Amino acid sequence: MSLAYAECPQDVRDSLAAQYFVDAIRDKDTQHATRLMDAKDLKSALAYSMKYEAAKTVSKTSRNVRSIEVEDGTGKEKDEKFDCLLKTLEKLLNSHVAGKKNTPRRHPNVT
C-alpha cells in the first residue's frame, strides 16, 4: 500500500487500507456494520469487525439453549409420605364417625 500511494499522506493511506479491508469482508452484515463505523485506519476497522463477529456469534448460540428438568428422586418419597398421612386421616375420620354412631343422642331440652 505504501509503494502504490507513496505520494499520499499516511492518514490517506491508512483510510484506503481500511476501505479495502471493509470491501474484502465476505459477510454482508459485518461488512455493512464495519462500513457504518467509518474506521479511519486498518487497526480500528479490524478491531470493530472482530467485536461485531464475536457479538453476532454469541447472540446466535444463546438462542439454541433449551430448558431441562432435573428429578432429584425425592418425589416418590413425598408421595409415600402423603399416602401414609392420607390413610391416617381416613382412619381417624372413620373412627370418629363410628364413635358418633355408638354414642346415644341426647335431646337438648331434656335435663
Determine contact, residues 15/45, Cβ cutoff 8 Å.
Answer: no
- Whole-angstrom Cα Rg for the chain: 40
pLDDT at 26: 94
Q: Which residues of the chain have pLDDT under 70?
A: 1-2, 61-65, 72-76, 102-111
d(Cα 83, Cα 89) in Å, to the nearest integer? 10
Total domain count for the chain? 1
Range of the structural domain that residue 35 is part of: 8-66
Any domain includes 56:
yes
**pTM assigned to the model:** 0.49
Does residue 62 fall inside a structural domain?
Answer: yes
C-alpha angle 8/12/17, rounded to 5°?
110
Instruction: Give a yes or no: residue 104 inside a domain.
Output: no
Centroid of chain to Cα 71: 20
Write down how long the chain is.
111
